[in-house]
Amino acid sequence: MNLSAPFICEFFRDAQEKVLPYADYIFGNETEARIFSKVRGWETENVEEIALKISQLPLASGKQKRIAVITQGADPVVVAEDGKVKTFPVILLPKEKLVDTNGAGDAFVGGFLSQLVQGKSIEDCVKAGCYAANVIIQQSGCTYPEKPDFN
């Protein structure tokens, strides 16, 4: 599940609350995470603390674990899992190569999931997510070059 946008966290909290117990993975960016925290009265803006709290929200199954993944633009990606928080560096991009950030979050999630379905590690999932986001922010609009070069 993706937190989607700050206004979703603010104005559709009841709907979010109904589906959250069924989400094993929750993605968002730092702004969405902070709004999510605020509307729940968590009294923290620390992204690592918020990711940890999201990862510990109850699951309907009660058996599986939840993983929270929060992107932060040029700052490290935060992943909370099993009561622990890890950070992963992003691929830094010179400012002159930045064209358009629209779709960066969706590209990140797509890259992440492309590795998750192959049984790869969380680190590999984050690397693929960062690669996909890095490629898309160098394009105008939500487009990819004809042949990506992810390995």
Distance, in Å, from the CA atom of 71 to the CA atom of 69, rounded to the nearest integer, reads 7
Distance, in Å, from the CA atom of 1 to the CA atom of 109, rounded to the nearest integer, reads 10
Distance, in Å, from the CA atom of 146 to the CA atom of 113, rounded to the nearest integer, reads 21
Q: Phi/psi of residue 53, each to 5°?
A: -65, -40
Q: Which among 7, 29, 23 is positioned nearest to 108, based on CA atoms?
A: 29
Query: Are residues 57 and 20 in contact, defined by beta-carbon separation less than 8 angstroms?
Result: yes
Pick the catalytic residue from 24, 75, 100, 106: 106
In one-letter notation, the amino acid at residue 117 is V
106 catalytic residue (yes or no) = yes
Catalytic residue set: 106
